[in-house]
Structure 1
Amino acid sequence: MKKLILAMLLLSSFPDTMAGAEELTEPEIISEAAVLTDSESGAILYEKNADKKMFPASLTKIATAIYAIENGDLNEMATVSEEAVEVDGTRVYLEKGEEVPLKKLVQGMLINSGNDAAWAIAEHLDGSMDRYSVNLNSYLKEKVHLENTHFVNPHGLHDENHYTTAEDLAKLTNYALKNETFKKIFGTKELKWSGKSWETTIFTHHRMLKGEVPFEGVTGGKTGFVDEAKQTLATSAENESIKLTAIVLKADFKRDIYKDTKSLLNFGFNHFESSDLSSTEVFPADGKNYTTGGKDVAITLPKGTFNENVTPKGKLLIEDQNGKVIQTVQLSEDKKDEVVSSQLKPEEEPKKETTGYYGKIGLTLFLFAVFILLLIKNLKEKARRRRRV
């Protein structure tokens, strides 16, 4: 009875982890589309119109940056054309004929959102905008695995055929953040700039990264705006438990994209944490064993109670306390036991034990009886010695 009371007291001391806990309250988002993901696992933690076709504005430059970093030589000198100098929108004021290292163009484009730098990058890599568009879209589909994105320029100035989704932008940003060069530039707050026409310091336009909109843990970001796309924002942030990527698209005012981003990041930090599936872990399901295929896999777990279920087809479903699927991981069937079994010859088959459960009990009783007999014999011997005395 005392043990039962103690167990009840222990259970009552953990109300937040019980199955009956209240459902997580998702943030109210003003922007037309938004998505929050774990930067490492890619798990989608919140979404609003995540697969809706949207115009990204200057968030396009995330794609241009990682494409240039992975496909170009950052130490090469690019020659700035007249077309690059005359491009509309934000600039770093390049001069016609100026020779600039490719890395510096990527910095000017990501940090200060220079459209002229973006144009110069595209021309340097592929020679023309048409060839650049073809090559970039192939790269985004084949390397980054984006399915709902089509870009026709490197900077994001409006074109009806230039579109993406919030989900694709999050996937793109997560992919790019795995590259240390991109990650460093994406998180740069200011940079001294020495060009042919001016010397200055360029600053990020991202107010949370710069500190104008206070929020602890922001590690990188990119802003965007054109009339058709309205305000857009990409943000990376982290704490001791998880790294997050937030994308918000099409807000009327800057204050709204920052408010939405703060709400998304707070939601992620408060309710989720990162973990790993070990390469040695085995998941039984439907008479089969599944593994991660010999590699560690990043996953996202809800804080508190959660469930891990494996489907008959080997998909691991990570669910929160209310049954909502947080992440799906495709496992691999473990064929090791089957291979070993099939390689055994008939005479090599393991011998079956002849000592069953009841046989083991009999042996135990026999040994116990021998012990008692020896004990009795010893006691009798001691009694005889006393009588002799």
Structure 2
Amino acid sequence: MFRSFLMNILKNILLFMITSLLFYSSPIYADEDEVELYSESAILMDANSGVILYEKQKDKEMYPASITKIISGLLAIKEGNLDDIVTVSQNAREAEGTRVYLEEGEEVTLKKLVQGLLINSGNDAGIAIAEHLDGSEEAFAKRMTDFVRNEVGVTNTTFKNPHGLPDPDHVTTAYDMALITAYAMENQTFREIVGTRELKWVGESWDTTLRNHHQLVLQRDDVTGVKNGYTDDAGFTLSTTAEDDGIELVIVTLNAEHPRHAYMDTERLIEYGYQYQTETISSGEEFTDEEGEQYVLDEALTFTVKKGQDWTTEIATDGLLSIRNEADESIFEYQFPTEEITTDDKPVYGSTAGGKANPNPKDSDGPGLLRIIMYTLLFSSILIIASLFFIRFKKKRTIKQEQTPIVIETYKDHRPWRKNW
């Protein structure tokens, strides 16, 4: 009798704990539906703060296809002379895939080749650029890889050609491509070219009007670039930048099965990203901790918050500056260096260290004390119930009595809430 009473109590506790855990979540910004994407890998990033607002396997090694041309075009702009006259080789003339139909021996300005590369995705233009700057595709690909690693700071990208045609070692990640895209868009010439909707093209064998292959550049005023791509191995890839009042977004989607899916994913992420805005604390701003120590920013701090959300700053005695949202959660952290800068009055600490963004406090703050307690009680209840069932089962087998089978109710998990971001 007592055992039955105890089991009923424990069953009720267990049900309560499960229900509480299903409905419990840390408060983060606001409730949002989970962004469901077709693409195998994707990322949404604030171009100015670098804060990642959404990611799906952002560090997975993937094939980029023609979004490779972002860095090919940028290198031609930054390290070449756009007024140079380039003579097209037979190798460039015979390029596979999408072309701008250059003829062997045709003389074209480097700028025109960059336009044909980025607007019309011309593989022949990419080879002509590579051979002009470095003599071969291989040498130019090495320059591309060295540049993105040394100048942009990516670590998981290797280029083997200037156009993105299949090579098993020609790989990148969504995160790396987002960084590369954000870096490239800081160059005004690059930005103008990838944002061009139509361009009159007069060539030796082809007179036409080039239309940007990135469909959202043609369809949406807020989309400012940059490049699409496709191979059988890479699937449909897309790198996009979009601007709204208060924020500039970078979106990269990799390996969608259909171009429609790549564009649908991108537009979902654009609308999701428009919930946020970029905020800046100006250089020279002073902060004083509770012990009276002063800290001065040597450079502006840029971070991301929900639109319309108030935020505050908090400085710890170790020089850790925390930006906190309305729920008093840390959404960005900046560590002042520990070395002192001498002043007439008291030590003032300069800011040379980088900041650290935390758009999702739940991921960094851990499950919290409440959830730990709840999990502990849950597992304890399960163990006790399992032990009681085991004892009861043994007793049944010993006395060999027929009893009415125990029926355990099944509680359907409807999960009616919307998952927090």
TM-score tier (shorter): 0.7 to 0.9
Give the Å deviation of 1:238.
Answer: 0.7
Instruction: Name the CA shift for 1:274/1:31 in 2 (closer, same or farther; >3 Å).
Output: same
Which is worse superposed, 193-202 or 320-329?
320-329
Deviation at 1:335, TM superposition (A): 3.5
Whether contact under 8 Å (1:314, 1:330) holds in the other structure is: yes
Q: Which residue of 1 aligns with 2:51?
A: 43
SS of 1:78's partner is strand
CA distance in 1, matches of 2:317, 2:72: 41
- Aligned residue number for residue 297 of structure 2: 292
Relative distance call for 1:21 and 1:210 in structure 2 (3 A) is closer
Q: CA deviation at 1:302?
A: 2.2
Task: Give the superposition deviation at 1:228.
Answer: 0.6
One-letter identity of the residue aligned with 2:126: A
Q: Does 1:29 align with 2:37?
A: yes
Counterpart residue number, 1:255: 260
Which string of whole-angstrom CA distances, capped at 9 and with x for unpartnered residues, describes residues 118-166 of structure 1? 1111111111122212222111111111111110100001111101111
Q: 1:225 aligns with which of 230, 235, 241?
A: 230
1:261-284 deviations in Å (ceiling 9; x for gaps)? 1110101112x1012111121234
**Corresponding residue SS for 2:303:** strand
The 3 A distance-change label for structure 1 pair 261 and 309 is: farther
The offset of 1:198, in angstroms, is 1.4
- Specify whether residues 328 and 35 from structure 1 end up closer, same or farther in structure 2 by C-alpha distance, changes over 3 A only: farther
1:301 match: 305
Alpha-carbon RMSD: 2.4
Provide the C-alpha distance between the structure 2 equivalents of 1:169 and 1:326, rounded to a whole number of angstroms.
24
**Residue 46 of structure 2 contacts residue 248 of structure 2 at CA under 8 Å; is this kept in 1?**
yes
* SS of corresponding position for 2:264: helix
Partner of 1:273: 277
Secondary structure of the structure 2 residue equivalent to 1:152? coil
CA contact (8 A) 2:72 2:162 kept: yes
The CA deviation at 1:309 is 4.9
Gaps of 5+ in 1: 1-18, 344-389
Compute the displacement of 1:320 (Å): 5.0
Given that residues 319 and 338 in structure 2 are in contact (C-alpha distance below 8 angstroms), is that contact kept between their aligned partners in structure 1? yes
Q: How does 1:286-365 map to 2 (within 5 A)?
A: 287=291, 288-293=293-298, 295-303=299-307, 304-306=309-311, 308-310=313-315, 314-318=319-323, 326-332=331-337, 335-336=340-341, 338-341=342-345
Stretches of structure 2 that go unaligned for 5 or more consecutive residues are 1-26, 348-421
**Matching residue of 1:245:** 250
Does the 8 Å contact 2:138/2:160 carry over to 1? yes
C-alpha distance in structure 2 between counterparts of 1:190 and 1:171, whole Å: 27
Residue 221 of structure 1 deviates from its aligned partner by 2.3
SS across alignment from 1:340:
coil
Q: Distance in 2 between matches of 1:263 and 1:314?
A: 38
String of CA shifts for 1:206-234, please: whole Å, max 9, x gaps: 111111xxx45111121100011101111
- Higher alpha-carbon Rg: 1
Identity of aligned residues (%): 43
| TM-score, with length taken from structure 2 | 0.70
Partner residue, 1:174: 182
What's the counterpart of residue 10 of structure 2? Answer: none
2:103 is equivalent to residue 95 of structure 1: yes
Aligned-pair CA distance for 1:86: 0.9
Distance 2:172 2:28 in 1: 39
The match for 1:111 among 97, 108, 119 is 119
* Residue number among 269, 282, 287 corresponding to 2:286 in the alignment: 282
When residues 85 and 20 of structure 1 are mapped into structure 2, their CA distance, relative to the original with a 3 A threshold, is closer
Residue 20 of structure 1: how far off its partner (Å): 8.5
Query: Quick one: distance in 2 between partners of 1:20 and 1:117?
Result: 47
- TM-score (norm. length: structure 1): 0.76
Instruction: Figure out how many residues of one structure are paired with residues of the other and give that number.
Output: 319
Return the alpha-carbon distance in structure 1 between the equivalents of residues 329 and 263 of structure 2.
27
Selected match of 1:184 from 185, 192, 200: 192
User: For residues 53-106 of structure 1, what are the alpha-carbon distances to aligned partners after superposition, in whole Å with 9 as ceiling and x for unaligned?
Assistant: 111000000011111111111111111111111111100000111111111101
Decide whether the 8 Å contact of 2:29 with 2:306 is kept in 1: no
Q: Distance in 2 between matches of 1:138 and 1:327?
A: 31
